[in-house]
Amino acid sequence: MSSKKKNRVNKEIRVPQVRVIGADGEQVGILPTSEALQLAQEQGLDLVEVAPAAKPPVCKIIDFGKYQYQQSKKARELKKKQHTITVKEIKITPITEEHDIQFKEKHARKFLMEGDKVKITVRFRGRQLAHTELGREKLQRFIADLEDIAIVERPPTMEGRNMSTILAPQSSEK
């Protein structure tokens, strides 16, 4: 939406009265908007609406450029701390060899430890489609080997020529 223009400043504030907070952080009180604007201009600062939903709206007397900088700094800090969960996919076939399965399990374990979800897909080709139970066995083995660190978010299901399951990391609250 309009993330750049969410705060109204100075003449953009069009309500009759506002609750004013001074430059020092002290509450000045409820003033007519024109009076609050004049007070801000006398100090060489801006009148910035910080809580438009309040009755009456709350405005602060601050330097708007500095305020914008602080807001963007806070947003960057919050963005740094959040971890996006991605779904990593591991593909196998019903005839994938034992060593390859162990290798892929090791990768799945690493992904789960990092907090990502893992989608394990068994791809059937040609006549393999007649033996879907082989693929289901491979998926069940994956689930059994990773049950110490993962939970099944979606049990094995067929989707066209593929059978897949989704494993999610176990929550750390034990």
pLDDT by residue (tens digit) across 66-75?
888 988 898 8
What is 10-79's CATH number, 3.40.50.360, 3.10.20.80, 3.20.20.100, 2.40.180.10?
3.10.20.80
pLDDT at 1 over 60: no
- At 133, which helix (H) or strand (E)? helix 132-145
**Domain range annotation of the chain:** 10-79, 87-169
Give the fold, CATH level 3, of 87-169: Translation Initiation Factor IF3 (3.30.110)
What is the C-alpha to C-alpha distance for residues 87 and 116, in angstroms, rounded to an integer? 6
Beta strands per DSSP E along 93-136: 117-123
What is the C-alpha to C-alpha distance for residues 32 and 16, in angstroms, rounded to an integer? 6
pLDDT per position as a tens digit, 104-161 = 999 999 999 988 999 999 999 999 889 889 999 999 998 999 989 999 999 999 999 9
Give the model's pLDDT for residue 54.
85
